[in-house]
Amino acid sequence: DTAVSQTPKYLVTQMGNDKSIKCEQNLGHDTMYWYKQDSKKFLKIMFSYNNKELIINETVPNRFSPKSPDKAHLNLHINSLELGDSAVYFCASNGRVGGNTIYFGEGSWLTVV
């Protein structure tokens, strides 16, 4: 049973395209996140949703738009992809049951060419 699953795991796409990464958690958590890991392996929060409401929105280009249809899903849509968007994107979740431990998905490796 995969707790936090995200798809696709690998994505290679051309500049200017629009792409989405999907995330689902089956842990019953209230809060979901998107983190970005750059080429130097530094991890930074992008967005956080609690019960489908946006609660953290870091300084991220507005080409990035998160969507949470329900509290088990948080998708990331990226418009007009740029070379600098190449990174690993991690979905994560936590909630009262797990305390403040955050559980991560396996990551989505995005390469923009």
Partner 1 sequence: AQSVTQLDSHVSVSEGTPVLLRCNYSSSYSPSLFWYVQHPNKGLQLLLKYTSAATLVKGINGFEAEFKKSETSFHLTKPSAHMSDAAEYFCVVSGGQAGTALIFGKGTTLSVSS
Q: Given the rule CB under 8 A, which residues bind partner 1? A: 30-31, 33, 40-45, 48, 50, 55-56, 90, 94-96, 98-107, 109
CA dihedral 71, 106, 2, 50 (to 10 degrees): -10
Q: Which is nearer to partner 1, 50 or 65 (CB)?
A: 50
The region, left, alpha or beta by phi > 0 then psi within -120 to 50, assigned to residue 28 is left
Please tell me what DSSP assigns to residue 97. Answer: T
Q: Which is nearer to partner 1, 17 or 29 (CB)?
A: 29
**Least distance from C-beta 43 to partner 1, angstroms?**
4
**Least distance from C-beta 4 to partner 1, angstroms?**
9
**Least distance from C-beta 34 to partner 1, angstroms?**
10
Residues facing residue 108 across a β-bridge? 89
First-to-last alpha carbon distance for the chain, in angstroms, is 34
**Least distance from C-beta 106 to partner 1, angstroms?**
4
Q: Which is nearer to partner 1, 53 or 82 (CB)?
A: 53
* Distance separating alpha carbons of residues 56 and 33, to the nearest angstrom: 9
Q: Which is nearer to partner 1, 38 or 82 (CB)?
A: 38
Q: Are 37 and 23 in contact (CB under 8 A)?
A: no
